[in-house]
Amino acid sequence: MIDNHSGLYAAFMAKDARFDGRFFVGISSTGIYCRPICRARKPKAENCTFYSTAAEAEQAGYRPCLLCRPELAPGTSIADARANLVRRAARMLEENCGSGQNLEEIAGRLGCTDRHLRRVFTAEYNVSPVQYLQTCRLLLAKNLLTDTNLSILEVAMSAGFGSLRRFNDSFKKHYHLAPTALRKRISEEKKHNSDITLALGYRPPYRWEEMLNFLAGRAIAGIEVVENGEYMRTVNLKDAEGKHVYGWVRIGHKPKKNALSVTVSETLLSMLPQVLARIRHLFDLYCNPDVMYEILQVMNDIHPSLCTLGIRVPGCFDAFEMAARAVLGQQITVKAASTLAARIVETYGTPVQTGIEGLTHIFPSPEDILAMGEDVTNNFGVLGVTSARSNTIFELARSFTQGEVDFDLCAQPEEEIKKLMKINGIGSWTAQYIAMRTMEWTDAFLETDAGVKKALPSYTSKELLKMAEAWRPWRSYATVNLWNTL
């Protein structure tokens, strides 16, 4: 439980969106727990208990509110946490709640023992990792039951329960409600809608247009499409058996609900937790904009409106695709890099059927690149890619397949940046950019970047680097703010 009862109760009474996902409120008079933004009639202060996570509220015996829907609350940024290890573990549990990955494997990826992870996780969240994982599965299932027309069995499997009986027992035990009873509450419109469309919440404000403009300017033809205020792309993931699963996603904006709408193809149902985790990463939904603006607003002393509240750092959906795209973009324009990437996709990408105009291919996998061997320079050369960059992409592919660089929620991004810079053809700019987009590194700064220099033309690279010290640990957001001024 969280202390400072009076302060949190005041935020709860004010329905302050800045605190959404940062705490949950257990209400003893009803037996439910709510988000700080809940529109229901507010309870008395003495009936409220505050918890740092939904899992902690559920372990205390509370059921999720059907009005504010705690499963839609935004997550917490890694950089917000006092214990980065615990936050990274929580994010991995969310992403892998349907895959069956055990705690020992997650601890190994984080560079610690499962015993140590269990101890620090419980100390930070007051629940064990297993209990947290159970809540992740239950809330994902509740989201699917409420917002989709999937069968109860499909919901159970997608949320990682393994069997319908296990799902029914767990749902009834924790929520005192059968899954079928919750399904009866779905509107007639949703009953006849075959799309798998969910909502992912964020903390407002969210500069959606700026995000779309960034992605549109770097979209790879055949893989990504940005139109009518939505972002669409093809998807290639590997299941637990290493088999490729192909599909597509479409992401739109629901500003009145402080959420993004996410529609996924039926082929991706078995990989839903991973898909949702990658979309949260791509659109930086864990971000708390007020926290970074408090530090970065000093940028406006240099020039008014240099820093804007609500800016997000675009992440990525596919780390190898993004890293290869970054190499292609070295010392050439954004448009030229997109053209080269599109040629590679058209020639060596995997064709897929999506039914959506413009979404026709999957980006070549690291294994596809390695299979070219020494022919990679000739294969890419006829497409306009220099031999140096072709070889760099080949070495990146090798790093991916051999796990030499951790492009996920790595424990020490700065160490991974050093590893990247050991690859011939990757300098500081490329390594920092890759870390910013793939590793959720919040403190990357590209002082030699052409866009950064154009935004602040009166300063040398050395002066920019010195100035940016005041912007730590949010220099990635400072970089995006500078780009947006162009």
Nearest to 96 by CA among 409, 400, 413, 314: 409
- Reading the block at residue 228, the tokens are 């009518």
CA distance linking residue 365 with residue 138, whole number of Å: 33
- Is residue 64 within 8 A of residue 40, CB to CB? The reply is no
Catalytic site includes residue 34: yes
Tell me the β-bridge partners of 259.
201, 254
Query: Which residues, including other chains, have CB under 8 Å from residue 342's CB and lie 6 or more apart?
Result: 220, 221, 222
- Rounded to whole angstroms, the Cα distance separating 339 from 319 reads 19
**Residues 435 and 420 sit within 8 Å (Cβ to Cβ):** yes
Decide the pairing of beta strands 244-254 and 259-264. antiparallel
Q: Which of 20, 34, 287, 316 is catalytic?
A: 34
Q: Active-site residue among 147, 284, 318, 449?
A: 449
User: Measuring CA to CA, which residue among 184, 55, 65, 76 is closest to residue 126?
Assistant: 55
Of the CA atoms within 13 Å of residue 381, those in its CB half-sphere come to: 9
Helices marked H in 39-177 — which ranges?
54-59, 84-95, 103-110, 114-125, 129-147, 152-158, 164-175
Which residues are known to be catalytic?
34, 449
